[in-house]
Structure 1
């Protein structure tokens, strides 16, 4: 799984966009309530203050409200007339599997792992990076890696999968999110990945711009069952 979280914003409330504005007195406590709970005609200030004075809107039952440019005694409200605010966290799942063939490089997490077999693929066949990309894209509600980087496009032939990761990270930041945490499981019978996990994790931190504390990698065999257990394929879940 990969979790993306909304990037910190300097504004005191979620940012919404819309048409209409009103100005009045309101307490800080009221300011921190979710925008969807505001009622333009009933917000009250702290005791001993007069009720808020604010312009009436024609679509008050449909519009949300957001506060901006707040001072200790005055706040400007803007009605919402568009999409809801971004969720603070979103979760995405990624999966990839490739056949292993003799005399091909085995790239996992951007690291060349010594082995007598490697992944047969249109790009470099890095199952770990591919499923990480899909997890990020899924968390953002975007098309999968095969749609954004189709294997029918010759420019991706033999491409380094770090290119795909960097684009997924760019899209994540563009949408106002950053990586919350990532938990990945690799499934392969051979070779053992224990000696390589630290360098793989370090490379993922560099590619994702994240701390090692939020990136976890596990490796499992497939108990000699089916193509994974017979060293004929490799898979990854994120």
Structure 2
């Protein structure tokens, strides 16, 4: 079995009065992430981990913020397109492990919906998509609620040509 692991990380600044997209769902909060797309840090970190595991560059290379095509785009579209990119190279996802770093809001009530959303896009089961969260104990820009960070690890399997 040919397996590969990739890691991804993404950061976005938080601002009052913006929608807060995490894991493909809108999470109620007074602040939302600022970015060229919908600024979903979790989906961006997963995309980078997928691309990294397949040695296919990063999210900025495939979906540059210099292209009007991606301005304001739903990151679920980016995740689906990233999956198509790795599938073209005969990779399939075995599992995803991710962590969110944010002071607020508490995301536990939304984790299952995020897992389902991500799993549905990628053709996985919810048990194949781990999402955890932590605070920074009020330390740094995350602790001051100025930003949000996501980390992701993805395990890929390289399929044989006739095994697709």
TM-score over 0.5 (shorter chain): yes
SS of match in other structure, 1:93:
strand
**Cα deviation digits, residues 85-122 of structure 1 (max 9, x gap):** xx610110000000000110000011000000001100
- After TM superposition, the runs of 4+ consecutive aligned structure 1 residues lying more than 6 A away are none
1:98 aligned onto 2:7: no
Q: 2:89 aligns with which of 175, 189, 192?
A: 175
- TM-fit CA distance, 1:152: 1.1
Aligned to 1:60: none
Matches within 5 A, 1:72-83: none
- TM-fit CA distance, 1:205: 0.6
Aligned to 2:147: 233
1:197 aligned onto 2:81: no
Q: 1:136 aligns with which of 31, 36, 50?
A: 50
**Higher RCO (C-alpha under 8 Å, 6+ residues apart):** 2
Whose radius of gyration is greater, 1 or 2? 1
Instruction: With the length of structure 2 as denominator, give the TM-score of the two structures.
Output: 0.90
User: Would you tell me which structure has more strand in proportion to its own residues?
Assistant: 2
Aligned residues: 152
- TM-fit CA distance, 1:215: 1.1
User: Would you tell me which structure has more helix in proportion to its own residues?
Assistant: 2
- TM-fit CA distance, 1:163: 1.3
CA distance in 2, matches of 1:204, 1:167: 13
CA distance in 2, matches of 1:181, 1:110: 17
Aligned to 2:158: none
Could you list the runs of 5+ residues in structure 2 that have no partner in the other structure? 153-164
- TM-fit CA distance, 1:162: 1.0
- TM-fit CA distance, 1:195: 0.6
Q: 2:100 aligns with which of 174, 186, 196?
A: 186
1:157 aligned onto 2:71: yes
- TM-fit CA distance, 1:154: 1.4
Q: 1:127 aligns with which of 30, 41, 46?
A: 41
Q: 2:120 aligns with which of 199, 202, 206?
A: 206
Aligned to 2:160: none
- TM-fit CA distance, 1:177: 1.5
**Cα deviation digits, residues 204-236 of structure 1 (max 9, x gap):** 110111012221110000110011011110000
Instruction: With the length of structure 1 as denominator, give the TM-score of the two structures.
Output: 0.63
